[in-house]
Amino acid sequence: MRRRPLVAPTPDLAAVVRVRLFAALRERAGWGERLIPLGASLTNAADLWRQLALDDSPAAGVGELPPSIRVAINQAFAAPDTPLRPGDEVAFLPPISGG
Amino acid sequence: MPTPNPGQPIVVQLLEAPFQPLELLAAWQGNLGPAAPAAESHFIGRVRPTTASGEPLEALELEHYPGMSEAQLRAIAEACAARHGVGAVLVAHRVGRIGPGEAIVLVAVQADRRGPAQRCVQELLEDLKHHAPFWKQEWSGGSGTWVTGNTPL
């Protein structure tokens, strides 16, 4: 099992993160996995959420990452403002319903 | 605190096919050796035949995050085992499509006393329901609905 994403080690592709969506989020967005380049205005998961327009809420604060969505970086829970590094795997996790 | 079993004190399994909880339990007990501790507590969860809104359920489909789901289950089990000072823990969880009545989760804990064994089972189950990445989709009448929360304790 690969715990780290596969990102080409060439300089122009190096500053990329792999974004993953699950369950209802994945269905709503219509995709489950994408490579997204990091940039000056895209440095953490909260930025990704806004720039990928993952929110569907018409309410106030539209576009912001809602507290019900948890973030995982490289398969461990992380704060949405954790700085991302090239090659990171960032996942947005809708409310969990296991067991 | 009981001595942890030298074999595998924490066993975590994600299962893609139906399983018989009592057979799995027997195999786990067998692997732990003949000197069973004084207390052992178990929980078996099965799929309800109705949806959250009371419709007949065709199947429950369980999505997970390969890699993270296993790691989280293990971390939750290890933390719970340490908090309660128990000996051995088994957590088995189905993924994929699961029919009504089929087992979805099995938790077993061995300990020196009934209190830690029972408390660890209950706490582990609640922790995994809230902190292990699994998502249930209920299939009924040919359409799927994502479950947004957990059933009451």
All domains of chain A in start order, with CATH: 14-93 (3.10.20.30)
Report the C-alpha gap between B133 and B137 in whole angstroms: 13
**Contact (CB<8Å) A99/B146:** no
Q: How far is the alpha carbon of A58 from chain B, nearest alpha carbon, in Å?
A: 19
Judged by CB atoms closer than 8 Å, whether chains meet at A97 and B150 is answered as: yes
pLDDT tens column, B27-74? 999 998 888 889 999 999 999 999 999 999 999 999 999 999 999 999
What's the CA gap between B93 and B134, in Å, rounded?
A: 10
- φ, ψ dihedrals at A87, nearest 5°: 90, -10
Q: How far is B48 from chain A (nearest CA, A)?
A: 12
A20 to chain B: closest CA residue: B65
pLDDT tens for the 99 residues of chain A, in order: 455 555 555 545 569 999 999 999 999 999 999 999 999 999 999 999 998 888 876 555 567 899 999 999 999 999 999 999 999 999 999 999 888
Contact B148 A97 (CB under 8 A): yes
pLDDT in tens, B98-121: 999 999 999 999 999 999 999 999
CA B128 to chain centre: 8
Alpha-carbon gap: B98 to the closest alpha carbon of chain A (Å): 12
Taken in order of first residue, the domains within chain B and their CATH numbers are: 10-142 (3.90.1170.40)
Q: Among the residues of A1-99, which ranges form H helices?
A: 11-14, 23-29, 45-51
Structure tokens at B4: 């942890």
Q: Are A98 and B67 an interchain contact pair (Cβ–Cβ within 8 Å)?
A: no
Of A3, A76, A98, Cβ closest to residue B93: A98
Exposed, middle or buried: residue B53 (CB in 10 Å: 0-12, 13-18, 19+)?
exposed
According to the model, what pLDDT value does residue B4 have?
Answer: 45
Helical (H) or strand (E) element with A70? strand A70-73
